[in-house]
Amino acid sequence: MMNRRDLMLNLISENAAPGTIPAGFFMHFDSAHHQGQAAVDKHLEFFRQTGMDFVKIQFELPLPPFPQIRKPEDWAHAPLYPDEFFEAPIRVAEGLVKAAKSEALVIMTLYSPFMWARHLDPQADIAGQMRENPEVV
């Protein structure tokens, strides 16, 4: 019998109709489980207790405070984070792939530029600013 990972990869590679619809349930964990081995362990516990068909890695990286963005020109000051900023989530992803790759397909949340902008300033009227001056935004 195929394990969940091989079944998912087989369905993807052969473009076959599954016997069941793959399912997953997602939630954010307590901040004590956002980084390191604690995050790996909590993701694995959740995956195994729910019987999901794949491991979905939550992205739990808070952004440092950033001044409010009230006009398109404010985006010129948006920070560019160095590679080191992403080290903790990369280590969680590595740990989960190492621990679960023989059991299931492992996927990770990756934010689009729009979602990064929403996280920088949740109150910013990004759509309105894009209509006003899309080149600057």
| Percentage, residues of the chain above pLDDT 70 | 85
Radius of gyration of the chain (CA): 19
Tokens of 137: 């935004």
79: burial class by Cβ within 10 Å (0-12, 13-18, 19+)? exposed
Average pLDDT, the chain: 86
- The 10s digit of each residue's pLDDT in 6-33 is 666 666 666 666 667 777 778 899 999 9
Is 24 contained in some domain? yes
Is 23 contained in some domain? yes
Is 82 contained in some domain? yes
Tally of domains in the chain: 1
Inter-residue contact 118 to 126 (CB < 8 Å): yes
Is 137 contained in some domain? no
pTM: 0.75
**Cα separation, 127 vs 137, whole angstroms:** 10
- The 10s digit of each residue's pLDDT in 39-73 is 999 999 999 999 888 899 988 888 888 888 999 99
Is 91 contained in some domain? yes
127: containing domain: 4-132
Strand locations in the chain, DSSP E? 54-57, 105-108
